[in-house]
Amino acid sequence: MANIATGRIQRELKEVMNSDEAIKNQIKIEFPINDFSKLQGEIIGPPDTPYEGGKFKLHIEVPETYPFNPPRVKFSTKIWHPNISSVTGAICLDILKDQWAAAMTLRTVLLSLQALLASPEPDDPQDAVVAQQYKEDHDAFIKTAEHWTTVYADGSAKNQNLEEKVRQIVEMGFEETCAREALSLSCWDVEKAIENLMS
């Protein structure tokens, strides 16, 4: 990686560690393998959202052309959100594509992702199924997003009713992850979920 980018990333990591904003918003970045092009980020789900209190890990790849091109970022923690793929973690966010500017930083990216959790854009989805649920059955969307936050992101809002539905399907011989995804896709209707798993 070019020295210019490495120097800038080192400054940006310090900025994330030392800024009051980062501490208040609970965002962080680490470079686990002593390689400034492969970073790990973490954001905490914002208050008053279905993601509240969840710890969401991010995989951040910084290109050699940084800061003139955006970092490639995806969620490594599973999340139920219209603008983030529930399967791959890919993100639909303009500043990670054509709205990137060289003045932006990794801190900007993390804070923008946190803002995206608070204000989804279902009309510009990354995950069409989640976006459809968000628009057509918002209660089911909230329930599912909270449930995924609890299960995958160490959130605290355990919903015993939903756990019971997962257990019902697991007892039929299906894997827990498959059961959870089938229920999420069928708005927590057990019969529909089983139909989907059988077809």
Residues carrying an active site annotation: 92
Decide: helix, strand or coil at residue 41. Answer: strand
Question: What string of DSSP letters covers 1-21?
Answer: --HHHHHHHHHHHHHHHH-HH
Q: Rounded to an integer, what distance in angstroms lies between the CA atom of residue 118 and that of residue 122?
A: 12
Q: 58 pairs with which residues across the strands?
A: 41, 75
Q: Rounded to an integer, what distance in angstroms lies between the CA atom of residue 109 and that of residue 74?
A: 11
* Nearest C-alpha neighbor of 113 from the set 39, 18, 26, 6: 26
Q: Give all strands of the β-sheet with 55-61 in edge-to-edge order.
A: 27-30, 38-44, 55-61, 72-75
